[in-house]
Chains A and B, each alone.
Chain A
């Protein structure tokens, strides 16, 4: 486990430190527990084991079993308990071990957590940060690779965010944990192990979308694990003379419509990429926002490159299901070829 005492003076002063996303999230949680005496972490195996992805490693040892604790295997209980704890003034940071395990708690998340502030006329806010290891890419069995962002983004009262790299993970989790509103924090599990430089003291603005790579000819819009794939695609497109901008959406509810519009107004072409199924996926919302904001400047309809309308497949078929480099390049080609009239 990394904590402030293991950082050297240069890192303390703001130099960057190399961290995996796991370690960046672990550090953000440790600092949140340290700074916020009302913060609690709980879920399946988050305590003694330290989480199946090691994100809560060492936290129970350091902060004790009353602040970091294991729960029974009952997601409805984990989220139901979060409601009660939030009512009592705590700041719960529960974990649902895998995205596919969130379904048993949908009633608590939608009917209670999403609505309590509204129902109580603002007297019972729900400052809950629900961490959900999300999306595919690790060849896991069924129920371990879902894309729930469209479902949660559809629920009034919830905020939804997904980091794309260790820097985003560290700063967005700390920010989410300080919100007075419930935040669904979707961690891209296929990116947990990749290391990158993190500036612990300067995360830029935690609100809205961010330009992950500037470009002139077309905007690729993505979030979570698809951001790094889109950055690879942008490098390949450059070989062909196409200058691609990659917009890391980050917040999936609310979506940064202004940031979207600013990027696409410049490039005049947009392709949105996501892992979840195509129909009623968040790509449809993105396409609608882009069309509303940029209809007159768009050179082509917004293209969607997505998962298919099937249950998430077993590991052997994952590469066929997830938007791959060639499928994204095909999407870009279709947009480039489009001619009005």
Chain B
């Protein structure tokens, strides 16, 4: 299991921090990509942050009312070590299947 940290992104143009209103997931939860993670409030608006990826929530940083600076860790995901990269899927090893049979008379010397 590898850990991937997701820092608080800049939610507007040049915002420097956000206040956590409510966590919508808890440590240990399995989350899907784009699932709402947390509701935060900035000086511009209150927004729900979608999950950037699928994984298990290992840690959340801060609770309701806490201020998180842009770029500081917000949440840590656990992902399996053999998860593919940002694109593609891990190929599954399968027993080879064949339809073609070889049929040859070898006239080797």
Chain A residue with the shortest CB-CB distance to B85: A52
Determine if A235 is an interface residue (Cβ-Cβ < 8 Å): yes
Identify which of A52, A139, A140, A336 contacts B106 (C-beta below 8 A): A336
Q: Pick the interface stretch among A7-15, A32-40, A151-159, A322-330.
A: A322-330
Identify which of A52, A138, A337 contacts B89 (C-beta below 8 A): A138
Interchain CB contact under 8 A, B98 and A325? yes
Which B residues lie within 8 Å of A141 (CB)?
87
Which B residues lie within 8 Å of A217 (CB)?
106, 108
Known contacts A237-B102, A240-B102: does B85 contact A194 (CB below 8 Å)? no
Identify which of A138, A325, A326, A332 contacts B88 (C-beta below 8 A): A138
Interchain CB contact under 8 A, A326 and B100? yes
Determine if A76 is an interface residue (Cβ-Cβ < 8 Å): no
- A285 to chain B minimum Cβ distance, whole angstroms, is 27
Interchain CB contact under 8 A, B104 and A336? yes
Interchain CB contact under 8 A, B98 and A236? yes
Which A residues lie within 8 Å of B98 (CB)?
236, 325-326, 329
Cα–Cα distance between A326 and B102 once the two chains are bound (Å): 10
- 8 Å CB interface, A35-68 against B: 49, 51-54, 57
Interchain CB contact under 8 A, A139 and B104? no
Which A residues lie within 8 Å of B101 (CB)?
240, 329
- A88 to chain B minimum Cβ distance, whole angstroms, is 31
Identify which of B4, B81, B88, B106 contacts A144 (C-beta below 8 A): B88
- Residues of B near any A CB (own CB < 8 A): 2, 4, 81-82, 84-91, 93, 96-104, 106, 108
11 A-B contacts (beta carbon < 8 Å): A51-B85, A98-B87, A140-B87, A189-B88, A193-B82, A217-B106, A240-B101, A241-B102, A326-B99, A326-B100, A333-B102
